[in-house]
Structure 1
Amino acid sequence: MKTDFKFSNLLGTVYRQGNLLFTPDGTCLLSPVGNRVTVFDLVQNTSYTLPFAHRTNIDRLDLSPRGNLLLTVDETGRAILTNFHRRIAIHHFSFKSRVSALKFSPSGRHFAVGVGRRLQIWQTPSTPGTETNGEIEFAPFVLHRDSAAHFDTVQSIEWSSDSRFLLSASRDLTARVWSLDKEDGFEPTTLAGHRQGVVTACFDAAQESIYTVSQDGALFRWAYTEKQDPETDEVIGEPQWRIAKKDFFMQNDAKVNCAAFHAPSSLLVVGFSNGLFGLYDLPEFNMIHQLSVSQSNIDVVTINKSGEWLAFGSSKHGQLLVWEWQSESYILKQQGHLDSMNSLVYSPDGQKIVTTADDGKVKVWDVKSGFCIVTFTEHTSGVSACQFAKKGSVLFTAPFAHVILLLAVDPSGEVVCAGSPDSFDIHVWSVQTGQLLDQLSGHEGPVSSLAFAGDGNHLVSGSWDRTVRIWSVFGRAQTSEPLQLVSDVLSVSFRPDGKQVAASTLDGQLSFWNVTDAVQEGNVDGRRDVSGGRKVSDRTTAANAAGTKSFNRITYSADGSCILAAGNSKYICLYDVNTGSMIKKFTVSVNLSLDGTQEFLNSRNLTEAGPRGLIDETGEASDKEDRIDRTLPGAKRGDAGARTTRPEVRVTCVDFAPTGRAFCAASTEGLLVYSLDTDFVFDPVDLDITITPSTILATLDAAKAAAEANTVDDDNTFLKALIMAFRLNESKLILYLPRLLRFVAHAAEETPHLEFNLLWFESLFNCHGRYFKENSGTFAPELRIVQRAIDDIRENLKRLTEKNLYDLNYLLSKPVLADKKSASALLPIADDDVEGGDDQMEDADGSDGDWIGLE
């Protein structure tokens, strides 16, 4: 089994905090998800997560006008400059403090950041014009200008279209006009007059007016005019920016959280704290739309380049919306789980992942696109477990409301077993009738885990009574001898062939038992492997912390050679079953915004009042509504004893894909997907010095020449070149059967050559079908990949034929007027070739034409 799994995608959450960003072409949307960035392709309907990760949650991000450079900044002011197209981190930099605003200039030569109350302008690395010997020289960040005229945090930055001037809006109730370089006759100007903090400030298309929006719902339009005496109309003083018009949004107690202005179309979008957004036409201030798109406040809004799509983000509910305002339709509507995920399962075809969480929702995620395609909300409380029937057409879920925490489904889908911590029995139900068939008694403690064997003949259960029991559910005798362990059992799993059982215990041990004779075949001590991460409230080191030294969930790989284990730790461990050695350790997260990601804590952060990370030190400097003490009338000061909470990094569930090419983990960060297909891995088979890319291409050229000359050369054939390419295992050149199956299956998913790929499948199964059947266990991952590819082809053809049938029925239902001219135009036949000439075109009744159907 291949074990070089790489991080592939992040599902389960779509938006956390920070600003949203459209790419310059307007087809993709970038969303900060924790300490990573997810890209949503709105045209291809796919999503992917960039491979780099910050040490804390991302606050700000922006793209250069060309779309090649992505700058992301986290909560501590640390920035990463990335080649967006190649997804490679280029440079790391620190702004020394938290960044509240970030914007590239339209020319791409500079970018401006708001660092607290300071406005800094930096030169963009690889600035055009810095060429050496014809090549662009990469230089680190160079500070161009640093200004500190505001008295509070800078909230937004906007550039003029010519990149000469820029606007900054601040919480100090003002906006300021700056110049990139010194301009003759220009002095930085302060735009004052708002009664609350200014959310945004922007230029109009002609750069003759400035619009400022404040938190209390006031919109000011500023014009560069001269002051006149109202009695004599004489000019008084020099020209300056003055308020030309005042408008108000009038949203009762709701405040303006965000605003965005599209200068070419003069459209202003405003998001309010009550979940409403308004679309206004300026300068007349005509309201075009006012809709509710979220149940909580809208934190960020942005507009794409064409002005057609509006993107909204709500951090409280993790919502991400893209709205096309002209057609009043959703382009994208995604929402992650509100609470921690409890369980997950792959669908039998490997194309879907189902997750459940404490928010009572069951979500189905498409592996290929990365989108949530279905959300079930029938549960009224948290959902603890989910399982698929083997055929994949039925999904079983268990809620906390009925105190059912465990599920196991018979592969036939006829029987479902459940367990709970309240009762020590295992309940067996019939799916067809819904009746309770049996209660399996024997455990003397709460049942912690259940699993069916692949053949459905046996059920394994683990309990806190330190025993593992194997049940013959369909046998006459419903008793079993316990397999005694030295600690509480946390998780059990059957090997896919049903011949071995693995159990994880509270002391960090993994035990492997033979099902036939109940003999222990192996043991793994994983305490040191999984241990890691210290919470800010821990009084002991990470090495001595007891809560991270066990595996809460284990699962076998598709071929049964490896086992994946995870728990309340930041590590996921992959073990080889035969040798008991750890093959690889995966780090779930390095996000310091989560608790338990650090091995060592800074003693300076431990104060007399407790850990500094849990103390609310912002006090009155913050505007969070939940920090105001409203118990007494008129009280506006925050609670001095208020404490904050930090989410703890942990993995609640892991599962391997049926193909064996990927696995996923439900963690605090979201649904992490690791895959073998992320990057190309050099993995040759039967390689010798004669197998090189050059010799393969030479053999292929010789085979082409022989085919053109109609000669037969046994040493230079297409088959020989194909075999050589499989031995080298390089996809660009293109052992044998499993690799050939996998290659054709991937080609069927990614190439438009439908008939060609299906002919390959038909030939392979006609020639080697018996061998595939006899070695189905070995070829199981490849056969599942082929099944997935054929299912995709079938679904696409089904949709295409249904559409064609609808179009044909519509055309057949429409009559067509046939006359001489139309008939002659449709049938260009010479008159001398038809007897009777034009007389033959007349109807029997002598009329010129009539309505006829296309039948």
Structure 2
Amino acid sequence: MKFSYKFSNLLGTVYREGDLLFTPDGNSVISPVGNRISIFDLRSNKATTLPIESKYSYNALDISPNGCTLIAINEQGDAHMISLISQTIVHKYRFKRKAPGPFTGEYNAFIMEKVFHAAYDETTCVDWSSDSKVIAVGSKDMTVKLYPLDKWSNFKIYSLGSHTDSIVSCFFEKNSLDLISISKNGQMCVWESSMETNDFKQIEAPPSKKQKSAEDLDEDDIDVSKVPERTEEELAAALKDVRVEDNAVEEDKLYYKRIARHYLGDAPRKDDRKAILTAASYHKTTKVLVTGFSSGAFFIHEMPDCNLIHSLSISEQEITSICLNSTADWIALGCSGFGQLLVWEWQSETYVLKQQGHSNNMTCVAYSIDGQLLATGGDDGKVKLWNIHSGFCFVTFQEHTNAVTGIAFSGTKKFAVSASLDGTVRCFDVLRYRNFKTLTTPRPVQLTCVAVDTSGEFVAAGGQDVFEIFLWSVKLGRLLEILSGHEGPVAGLAFSPTPASTTLASVSWDKTLKIWDAIEKGSAHETIELLSDGLCVAFNPNGQEVAVGTLDSQITVFNVRTAQQMANIEGRNDLGSGRSDTDLITAKQTLKAKSFTTLCYTADGNCILAGGQSKNVCIYNVKEGIILKKFEITQNRSLDAVDDFINRRKMTEYGNVALVEEREILEGGHVTIKLPGVRKGDMASRSFKPEVRVFSLQFSPTGQAWAAATTEGLLVYSLTPGLMFDPWNLQMGITPTSVREAISNRDHTNALMMAMKLNDANLIQEVMENVPFKDVELTISTLGEQYVERLLTILANSLDTSRHLEYYLHWTQHVLTYHGPRIKAQQNMPALISLQKSLTRKYDQLSKICDFNKYTLQYLVRQGALMAKDDKTEAMTYDEEDVSEGEQPVYEMQYESD
């Protein structure tokens, strides 16, 4: 099995905080998601996350006019120059350190031009003039200051006041120095400039003494004996000329005049008096201004008259970022409170994009049987379904009234079930998007886990405050059995993946693992004693083994039939420590209390994926009991417990500085400490800084990817075929040249086997497409059994990428015809599931196109019939008129000739 899994996408979280951006073509939105950056393509309806990661969360973004370079700055002031073509960080720069240069011997991609020190408080916004000669900077000191990039004789630094609150945004007009400034209390001022940048005058260098004229000589350079005497009248006339010249210089200087003042905050304050303006964006070409408020409302005004065009309220949380695309048709809005990202087309009043992640922690995740869908549940009581290929959430169920603790797909992919602390298990139809069954217990019980059998007929859930397992029938919607026997909260449930098997494994805090067959034997069960409290359980895909994670950081594997221990894995040292800012003990001591809280077998059943109370996800070999690879899910130090050691700068003789409350003036009591004992994301806490954790793990049935529900969101890791040479069963003499020689000699079977041993995707595709259509059946029939599974994987990838659909379907048909009995004998083959996934996806894509074409042709045929009927009626009318008048009109002659 391969373990070269790399981060591929981030789901479940679409926006955290910071600036939103449209690409220059206006078709994509760039959103900062924690310490990662996601790009939402609105044309192709696809979301991707860049494979880069910062040590802290990003909060400021900007993109170059050509759309190739992105500048991203995190909370600590580190700037990353990112190439959107190669999707890599080209250069890093720290603003709070001494600039690298020739003296330090370090490369610097940024050259410092100037430093301005005119503001008296923090700067809040920046805008450039159209010719890049002047910078407008807004500040919390309620002023907007203008800085020239070059030295001008008639313009230095200019300050604009007239505001009574901190500045939120300021914007130059296009090809002008006219300015719009907006403050936090909704006050907007329109400023008119007295001149343009073309009127700026360069500062002339003072002439040397050799080049001085007689008029410019200093007093020391003048020979007084040679200066002619002047009368009082001549001196008065000369002084008058000097004053005229000084007035002319004053008239050439830049000054601003406020021509209008508007109060944008009056409209939202009718409903909410505390609403303040939080974000604004201005399109300089169309003169459209969009402003967002803390009440969740936004307004569109036409400038400079400030005419209200449109208004809408999108949520109850404040709007933290607004952006307009190149044509000002689409407005991107971000709400950090809900993690919401919207793209609104204001002219047609429709949503182009409406995505929202879980407002609190994501607690559980499940793959569908074909690996195309992901279902997630969160502490906010919502269940969301995500499309793996597009990266978008396409349906949200909000029927639960408390946190969702477990989720699972049925074996037929027709529905998903979820358990919640509200005491219900709900069944959701994946096709019709509705909650069609609600399963309840005889008395209120907080349910902690849920499982569905392979046939999709039975659902089981375990209780937290009542130590029982409840078994329902999905068809009947009735409670069939209550399984008693545990003496502690039921922590995990799992049905056997073997078809026609209803074996159920449950693990509890009472240090026992129980094997049930409730359908045939009722409450009769087999008990296996554990050395510590059981936390999670997972079945091997072959249905013969079950793995249990316990509180002492061990993973134990048992045989289901004999109850014998097959393997034991010690994972305490692999979890990795992490010290929180508020921890009073070291990370080494904290590690003793950590354990694995979620387990999952790989698709082939040879390895186990484990995660828990740390930032690491480990892959273990079951038979050998050793760790094969460790994945670090995040480097984001904006989260808690990422580092093993606390920064010594935070440590004082009185303790950790992080434990000291820091309240800011007039900021509503913003503090840095969280409530005592809070480990999960509690939005009611004084500071939302959750600890990094892995809540749930799930391996894709195709074996090509796995997903982890973490504090950062839903991380998807997949096998990405790269340029690495990865042969399989390679022998001497097998080279690309020998493969092509076999193709030219029409030895297609030998060429295909050699190409698969080289494992080069392009070479394999070249060999397959050189096989004549009539020889495909013969080539497959002579292929060895060991090549069948690899050929199915290749066909699955080819169906996704190639345009020769019928040709590869012909290959697929003959592979399944000749080798079907052997494939059916294997209970679990990830390659076959991957092929099914590709076929289903291709069918969905083509069915939409075919339906559209079919209905379009029906419409055209119907319109043609109606037009022919109307033409025939007109022709009969004209014939009657010709008979009555005895003349043939010109129109009828033209019609007949046509």
TM-score > 0.5, shorter chain as reference: yes
Gaps of 5+ in 2: 196-246, 424-445, 673-684, 765-785, 874-890
2:786 is the alignment partner of 1:786? no
1:649 aligns with 2:679: no
In structure 2, which of residues 259, 276, 299 is the aligned counterpart of residue 278 of structure 1?
299
Q: Which residue of 2 aligns with 1:631?
A: none
Structure 1 residue matching 2:113: 3-state secondary structure: strand
Q: In 1, are the aligned partners of 2:129 and 2:177 still within 8 Å (CA)?
A: no
Structure 1 CA distance for aligned equivalents of residues 149 and 465 of structure 2: 69
- For 2:260, the equivalent position in structure 1 comes to 245
Matches within 5 A, 1:214-613: 214-225=183-194, 237=251, 238-249=253-264, 250-251=266-267, 252=269, 253=273, 254-402=275-423, 403-455=446-498, 456-476=501-521, 478-546=523-591, 549-607=594-652, 611-613=656-658
8 Å Cα contact 1:532/1:548 also seen in 2: no
Question: 2-side partners of 1:508 and 1:309: how far apart?
Answer: 51
SS at match of 1:416: strand
Q: CA shift at 1:614, angstroms?
A: 4.3
Residue 28 of structure 1 and its aligned partner are, at CA, apart by 1.3
| 1:813 match: secondary structure | helix
Spell out, residue by residue over 1:207-255, the C-alpha distance to the aligned partner (whole angstroms, 9 max, x if none). Answer: 14111111111221111239xxxxxxx9995551221222221232322
Output the CA distance in 1 between the equivalents of 2:654 and 2:323: 41
Give distance in 2, aligned partners of 1:797 and 1:89: 38
Kindly provide the amino acid, as one letter, of the partner of residue 162 in structure 2.
G
State the identity as a percent.
39
Which residue number in structure 2 is paired with residue 699 of structure 1? 741
Q: Please say if residues 616 and 644 of structure 1, whose CA atoms lie closer than 8 Å, have aligned partners that are also in contact.
A: no
- Is 1:802 the counterpart of 2:851 in the alignment? yes
TM normalised by structure 2 equals 0.80
Of residues 667, 687, 711, the one that matches 1:623 is: 667
Q: Which moved more, 1:723-732 or 1:277-286?
A: 723-732
Q: Which runs of 5+ in 1 are unaligned?
A: 98-114, 124-136, 227-233, 629-641, 704-712, 824-846
**Higher helix content, 1 or 2:** 2
- Within 1, Cα distance between the matches of 2:737 and 2:114? 54
SS of corresponding position for 1:732? helix
Distance 1:460 1:306 in 2: 58
Question: 1:286, 1:617 → 2: CA distance?
Answer: 42
What TM-score, normalized by structure 1, do the two folds share?
0.84
Q: Which residue of 1 aligns with 2:142?
A: 173
The answer on whether the counterparts of 2:14 and 2:38 sit within 8 Å (CA) in structure 1 is yes
- CA shift digits 1:329-353 (9 cap, x unpaired): 1111100001111111001110111
Cα 1:645–1:42 shift into 2, 3 Å: closer
Pair 1:670-2:702 in alignment: no
Cα deviation digits, residues 521-573 of structure 1 (max 9, x gap): 11111111113111112122212115653111111111110111111111111
Q: Is 1:724 the equivalent of 2:754?
A: yes
Letter in structure 1 aligned against 2:194: T
Q: In the aligned structure 2, how far is the partner of 1:460 from the partner of 1:752?
A: 46
Instruction: Report the CA distance between 1:663 and its aligned residue.
Output: 0.7
Supply the distance in 2 between the matched residues of 1:820 and 1:484 (Cα, whole angstroms). Answer: 86
Q: Is the 8 A contact 1:614 1:646 kept in 2?
A: no
Total equivalences in the alignment: 757
For 2:461 and 2:558, the matched residues in 1 are separated by 23
**SS of the counterpart of 1:769?**
helix
Counterparts of 1:53-202 in structure 2, within 5 Å, are 53-96=53-96, 139-202=108-171
Match of 1:733 in 2: 763
Shift of 1:775: 3.5
The residue aligned with 1:109 is none
Q: Which amino acid aligns with 1:563?
A: I
Q: After superposition, what is the alpha-carbon deviation per residue over 1:260-290, rounded to whole angstroms, capped at 9, x for unaligned?
A: 1111111111111111111111112111111
Q: 1:223 to 1:393 in 2, by over 3 A?
A: same
Matches of 1:419 and 1:602, distance apart in 2: 43
Q: Shift in Å at residue 293 of structure 1?
A: 1.8
Tell me: CA distance 1:70–1:449, structure 2 relative to 1, closer, same or farther (3 Å): same
Distance 1:450 1:442 in 2: 14
Conservation of the 8 A alpha-carbon contact between 1:614 and 1:643: no
Q: Distance in 1 between matches of 2:410 and 2:616?
A: 30
**1:758-784 deviations in Å (ceiling 9; x for gaps):** 12211222232233223453xx11111
The CA deviation string for residues 440-460 of structure 1, in whole angstroms up to 9 with x for no partner, is 222222221111111233111
CA distance in 2, matches of 1:280, 1:602: 48
Name the CA shift for 1:239/1:450 in 2 (closer, same or farther; >3 Å).
closer
Separation in structure 2 between the aligned mates of residue 661 and residue 35 of structure 1, nearest angstrom: 25
CA contact 2:467–2:490 (8 Å) conserved in 1: yes
Matches within 5 A, 1:750-789: 750-777=801-828, 780-789=829-838
Measure how far apart 1:34 and its partner are.
0.7
State the distance in 2 between where 1:285 and 1:321 align: 24
Q: Confirm or deny: 8 A CA contact 1:8 1:678 kept in the other structure.
A: no
- Which range is displaced more, 358-367 or 447-456? 447-456
Q: Does 1:212 align with 2:181?
A: yes
Paired residue type of 1:424: F
Q: Counterpart in 1 of 2:206?
A: none
Taking the aligned partners of 1:728 and 1:406, their CA distance within structure 2 comes to 45
SS for the counterpart of 1:143 is coil
Displacement after TM superposition at 1:55 (Å): 1.1
Paired with 1:525 and 1:744, the residues of 2 have a C-alpha distance of: 40
Amino acid at match of 1:673: V
SS in 2 for 1:439: strand
Separation in structure 1 between the aligned mates of residue 699 and residue 734 of structure 2, nearest angstrom: 34
What is aligned with 1:16? Answer: 16
- CA 1:625/1:542 → structure 2, altered by over 3 Å: closer, same or farther? closer
1:707-738: per-residue Cα shift (whole Å, max 9, x none)? xxxxxx35xx5555443332211223237332
After superposition, give the CA deviation of every residue in 1:638-668 in whole Å (9 maximum; x if it has no partner).
xxxx963521111111010111111111110
Letter in 2 for 1:393: K
Match of 1:633? none
> Cα–Cα, structure 1 residues 165 and 407, in superposed 2: closer, same or farther, change >3 Å?
same
1:458 and 1:821 map into 2 onto residues whose CA distance is 73
SS where residue 699 of structure 1 aligns? helix
Instruction: For 1:259 and 1:480, locate their aligned partners in 2 and report how far apart those are by CA, in whole Å.
Output: 64
Query: Is 1:52 paired with 2:52?
Result: yes
C-alpha distance in 2, partners of 1:821/1:318? Answer: 59
Change (3 A) 1:434 1:166: same
- Offset at 1:695? 5.1
Distance 1:511 1:461 in 2: 14
Q: CA distance change for structure 1 residues 677 and 448 in 2, over 3 Å: closer, same or farther?
A: same
In 2, Cα distance between equivalents of 1:28 and 1:261: 18
- Offset of residue 147 of structure 1: 0.9
Cα distance, 1:297 vs. partner?
0.9
Query: Any idea what SS the aligned residue of 1:664 has?
Result: strand
CA 1:31 to 1:303, structure 2 compared with 1: closer, same or farther past 3 Å? Answer: same
